[in-house]
Structure 1
Amino acid sequence: MPKLLHLACSPRPDSESAAGARVFLDRFRQARPEWDIDVMDLWRDSLPEFTGALLEAKYARINGRAFTDAERDRFAVAERIAVRFALAERVVISTPMWNFGIPYKLKQWFDIVIQPGLTFRFDPSQGYLPLLKDRPTLVILASGGDFATGMNRGRTDMATPYLREALRFIGVKDVRFVPIGPTTGPVEPVRLARENAHRRLAEMAGRF
């Protein structure tokens, strides 16, 4: 059974990014009922802290040193999370923008899965090489301000370039972004931004 992995990155179930994901996934289920949708809630699923044996395991891989038993056990946890991503034919990431970037739980997820020998390798003659296959990936990015039309009042969207580069580094280049913003402020611009994003998401879901 083909699988879509949804990384849910907002701690608020009624958030704008979560609402956008529901619109997309409801339409996706209608279009592809045979697909399995695997939801990983980064605020409720267990993510290991990047300390101790897991941190040492990363440097063991970099330096070509064998794992200790503790390092092997902790690396296996990171490996299971990365494999969950690697096995998905499609990926949806729904996330808010926090302080111009991404929530720390999503950054923690990237820190866990971006591991040498797991999602990338280094070749002295070619540099860093990704180990994962490309797959269609959708990022639903909700922000308090309007970063889509330029009305951002001088603020910088650092979430989009980070996500694009982090995914590219491990092999995922087919990435599409659907911004939702503004999500705060006067009612009418918020409503229009939500409706436009939901319309676009519903249209994309049928052919994703």
Structure 2
Amino acid sequence: MSKLLFINASPRGERSHSLSVAREFVRTYAALHPGDVVETRDLFQMALPALDGEVLRVKYNIMHGRESTAEEKSRWKAVEDVIEDFKSADKLVFAVPMWNFNIPYVLKHYLDVICQPSYTFAAGPEGYKGLCSARVFIAYARGGEYPAMGAAQDIYNFQSTYLEFQLRFLGITDIQSVIVQPTLREPEVRDKSKAAALKQAKEIVTTF
């Protein structure tokens, strides 16, 4: 039995193209794998721990082998809980719209909470080593159109490049994705892209 964690980074509900594709992927997966655990984390509804000075003090205490107070440890526990939840999944599905050429701030917050030395990556004389493993599917949506290669991708797309770099940094390399773009163009152009993304997602899910 596997555990799939569906991480929703879109607040737009039924109007969200990334969420629509990701939900269909998860629905199909659940039908194909009725014995698996499927859970959803809506990042706009989660009470993610603030990475303020008190919490970061514990992080640096851990990094430098110093002891933390009981109060500091109790606040750090909220960070550990998010990390444990993330690492408990064998498979991860993300719904990710593009915001200002990047990912939504709640997803950046989530990744900042998860990306912690000795928990999700190790650092040493030989460099970094990711400590996580999972299969990943990502449904992206973008208002504009950014080719897979070329100047537009290099200059404007910090969405997939950042997210996938961060996942690989944590040790997660099995990543597949689809893209709905350009969502701000005329409906027939948008809908054609969405139909293609849904078709591709249904092909990916059969072996996910």
**Cα-Cα RMSD:** 1.7
Q: Contact 1:53/1:70 (CA < 8 Å) preserved in 2? A: no
> Counterparts of 2:114 and 2:192 in 1: how far apart (Å)?
36
In structure 2, relative to structure 1, the CA distance for the partners of 1:119 and 1:151 (3 Å cut) is closer
Which whole-Å deviations, capped at 9, do the CAs of 1:81-103 have from their partners, x for residues lacking one? 11111111110011101011000
In structure 2, relative to structure 1, the CA distance for the partners of 1:152 and 1:89 (3 Å cut) is same
Secondary structure of the residue aligned to 2:51 is coil
Which whole-Å deviations, capped at 9, do the CAs of 1:95-142 have from their partners, x for residues lacking one? 101011000000000110111111112112x1122222x221011111
Q: What percent identity do the matched residue pairs reach? A: 32
- Residue 152 of structure 1: how far off its partner (Å): 8.7
TM-score (norm 1): 0.93
User: Counterpart of 1:166?
Assistant: 166
Secondary structure of the residue aligned to 1:47 is coil
- Residue 6 of structure 1: how far off its partner (Å): 0.7
Q: Contact 1:184/1:190 (CA < 8 Å) preserved in 2? A: yes
- Residue 150 of structure 1: how far off its partner (Å): 6.6
> Counterparts of 2:201 and 2:40 in 1: how far apart (Å)?
18
In structure 2, relative to structure 1, the CA distance for the partners of 1:207 and 1:84 (3 Å cut) is same
Which whole-Å deviations, capped at 9, do the CAs of 1:178-201 have from their partners, x for residues lacking one? 111111121111010110001111
User: Counterpart of 1:60?
Assistant: 61
Which whole-Å deviations, capped at 9, do the CAs of 1:12-70 have from their partners, x for residues lacking one? 11211110111111111111111111101000011011113211111112222112222
User: Counterpart of 1:141?
Assistant: 140
Secondary structure of the residue aligned to 2:146 is coil
User: Counterpart of 2:193?
Assistant: 193
Q: Which runs of 5+ in 2 are unaligned?
A: none
Secondary structure of the residue aligned to 1:24 is helix
Matches within 5 A, 1:17-166: 17-124=18-125, 126-132=126-132, 134-148=133-147, 156-166=156-166
Amino acid across the alignment from 1:104: Y
Aligned residues, how many? 206
Q: Contact 2:91/2:134 (CA < 8 Å) preserved in 1? A: yes
Amino acid across the alignment from 1:135: A
Secondary structure of the residue aligned to 2:67 is coil
User: Counterpart of 2:17?
Assistant: 16
Amino acid across the alignment from 1:78: V
TM-score (norm 2): 0.93
Amino acid across the alignment from 1:207: T
> Counterparts of 2:68 and 2:95 in 1: how far apart (Å)?
35
> Counterparts of 1:193 and 1:149 in 2: how far apart (Å)?
14
Q: Contact 2:6/2:26 (CA < 8 Å) preserved in 1? A: no
User: Counterpart of 1:177?
Assistant: 177
More helix by proportion, 1 or 2? 2
